[in-house]
A and B are shown apart, each in its own frame.
Chain A
């Protein structure tokens, strides 16, 4: 179930601002919903997202239950050097997903 989709250019010019779009597959159960019998459905959300570029943190986010299911986050970054961009999601019930993509800067 733990899957994520990332869209970003594989190649960029040095200094260019690139846009990274990320989508994690997760129900983001709020903890406010109830079943027909009135029992609360426990919270199960992604709470943190971190993006690192060759080991340096360039973007992070704290998520709350008000983020829609399958959290979609778009953010920019400056293409500084070739290397690896790593994405890490973590959340309730030990949820942890890491993805990484290579970028070539010319």
Chain B
């Protein structure tokens, strides 16, 4: 996960805060997990969220999704459904227009993991 994050942020410092990552604490089925990411930003021409990246610790591949936003988004709130292979930490990182990075980690417990079933 650190390598994948490093590719996105480069050497920049990642601050805690501004990002709200909403995931259920207890996930019954890891194949579809609703996820909402909100970032505290005025979303104006001068100050907006450029991108939101989501990473997982224990999925086979650390990247989950990258969203690219802009001042025309109006509000920095995006939602999707993800897969989780195990109980783990999920990290959301927001890239602001001024070049700073903000993040939040959420720990989730997964009872039925994705990616394991044999078909």
> What is the interface of chain A, defined by CB distance below 8 A to chain B?
17, 30, 32-36, 41, 53, 56, 58-69, 71-78, 80
Contact = CB atoms under 8 A, between A and B. Distances in A.
A67 B78 CA distance: 14
A62 B65 contact: yes
Contacts of B82: 66-68
A77 B71 CA distance: 9
A37 B106 CA distance: 36
Contacts of B117: 33
Interface string B58-73: 0111011111111011
B74 A78 contact: yes
Interface on chain A toward B: helix, strand, loop, or mixed SS? strand
Interface size class of B (residues with CB under 8 A): 20 to 34
Contacts of A35: 118-119
B77 interface: yes
A67 B65 contact: yes
Interface in B30-79: 31-33, 56, 59-61, 63-70, 72-75, 77-79
A71 to B, nearest CB: 7
Contact of B74 (A17, A34, A74): A17
B80 A76 contact: no
A67 B73 contact: no
B69 to A, nearest CB: 6
B43 to A, nearest CB: 9
Contacts of A69: 31-32
Contacts of A71: 80-81
A68 B118 contact: no
B60 A65 contact: yes
Contacts of A73: 78-80
A35 B118 CA distance: 6
